[in-house]
Amino acid sequence: MQITPEMKQLKEHAKQAFKGIDGVEGIGLGGEAKLIVYCRDKESANTIPDFFKGYAVQKIVSGKIIAGVGVAGSEAPNRPTLHSPHSSSGSLASGSAGTPQDILRSRLE
């Protein structure tokens, strides 16, 4: 996937919009949904809108992310769950969040 300047700007706007929401661990780009929001738990994922600035949002429950460590021990599920507005059921489903390094790269400042 090629990251366009428009997508980089979208990510920066999302960082600013979501950084004050408790449970948001990071923001990423890619996949079918375009914007990915990593959340500590399902409750925080449920506070994130399904669309942001006209782009679909994929929510991934990653558990707590600790800089330099990655996903924290027992708080992180073995397989993160995600919510995609493109799914027919609209429910949380199993998926992959990428490596801890990918998650850390997208970590909110």
- What's the per-residue H, E or C state across the chain? CCCCHHHHHHHHHHHHHHCCCCCEEEEEEECCCEEEEEECCHHHHCCCCCEECCEEEEEEECCCEECCCEECCCCCCCCCEEECCCCCCCCCEECCCCCHHHHHHCECC
Write out pLDDT tens, residues 8-46: 899 999 999 998 899 999 999 987 668 999 999 999 999
In a domain, 48, yes or no: yes
Write out pLDDT tens, residues 92-105: 333 444 555 555 55
54 contacts: CB under 8 Å, gap ≥ 6: none
Spatial separation of the C-alpha atoms in residues 6 and 4, rounded to whole Å: 5
In a domain, 44, yes or no: yes
Contact 68, 79 (CB under 8 A): no
Share the mean pLDDT of the chain.
73
Query: What domain count does the chain have?
Result: 1
Contact 36, 74 (CB under 8 A): no
With 0.85 as the threshold, say if the pTM is over it.
Answer: no
Tokens for 44, please give them: 């925080």
In a domain, 16, yes or no: no
